[in-house]
């Protein structure tokens, strides 16, 4: 019985918290230090929304296997997002000192979209995207935000495989409205 309780407790800790922000909520505005192809700049969500929908995807940490895969998948699909006038920004609270390299490496972002540093997971907290088993890191949660600042899609799963498909489908649906 005690082993079962321990197993359940560990499973709970390993499960990401589901995003509390929902479709129809207003996305919290933020600015953050970011990198695109290794070059630093300040990302402003409000400015990006003036250009079209924005995919804000939170990931736990640069240079970790799932995050490497997710960034690679977004870089492969970036032209599809751009064709829909959507931009993509990865945001992380983990390994922020490695983001310049992460943003330019061909096996990750390939310099095709920016990644932003979220020191202290402040932005992740506003988006309810905190990794429960490591609260100083971001959870793997993706948001699609309409140019009006309204969240139109939320997807939260630690497995990185479906984040691109989920967000691209949501951006395509937004384009049809």
- The arithmetic mean of pLDDT across residues 53-59, rounded, is 97
Does residue 167 surpass a pLDDT of 60? yes
Rounded Cα–Cα distance for residues 114 and 35 (Å): 5
* Residue 59: per-residue pLDDT: 95
Rounded Cα–Cα distance for residues 23 and 156 (Å): 13
Please give the domain boundaries of the chain with CATH numbers for all domains.
22-176 (3.40.30.10)
Higher-confidence residue: 102 or 176?
Answer: 102
Instruction: Print the SS3 string covering 77-97.
Output: HHHHHHHCCCEEEEEECECHH
Per residue in 31-48, pLDDT (tens digit) is: 999 999 999 999 999 999
Residue 16 is given by DSSP the state P
């Amino acid at each position: 019985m005690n082993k079962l309780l321990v197993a359940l407790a560990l499973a709970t800790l390993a499960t990401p918290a589901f995003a509390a922000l929902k479709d129809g909520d207003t996305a919290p505005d933020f600015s953050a230090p970011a990198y695109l192809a290794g070059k630093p700049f300040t990302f402003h969500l409000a400015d990006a929304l003036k250009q079209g929908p924005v995919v804000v995807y939170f990931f736990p940490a640069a240079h970790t296997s799932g995050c490497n895969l997710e960034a690679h998948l977004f870089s492969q699909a970036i032209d599809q997002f751009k064709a829909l006038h959507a931009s993509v920004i990865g945001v992380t609270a983990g390994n922020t000192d490695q983001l310049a390299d992460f943003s330019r490496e061909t096996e990750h972002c390939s310099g095709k979209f920016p990644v932003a540093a979220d020191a202290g997971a402040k932005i992740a907290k506003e988006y309810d995207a905190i990794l429960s088993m490591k609260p100083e890191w971001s959870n793997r949660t993706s948001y699609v935000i309409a140019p009006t600042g309204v969240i139109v899609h939320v997807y939260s799963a630690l497995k990185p495989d479906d984040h691109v498909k989920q967000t691209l489908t949501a951006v395509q649906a937004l384009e049809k409205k």
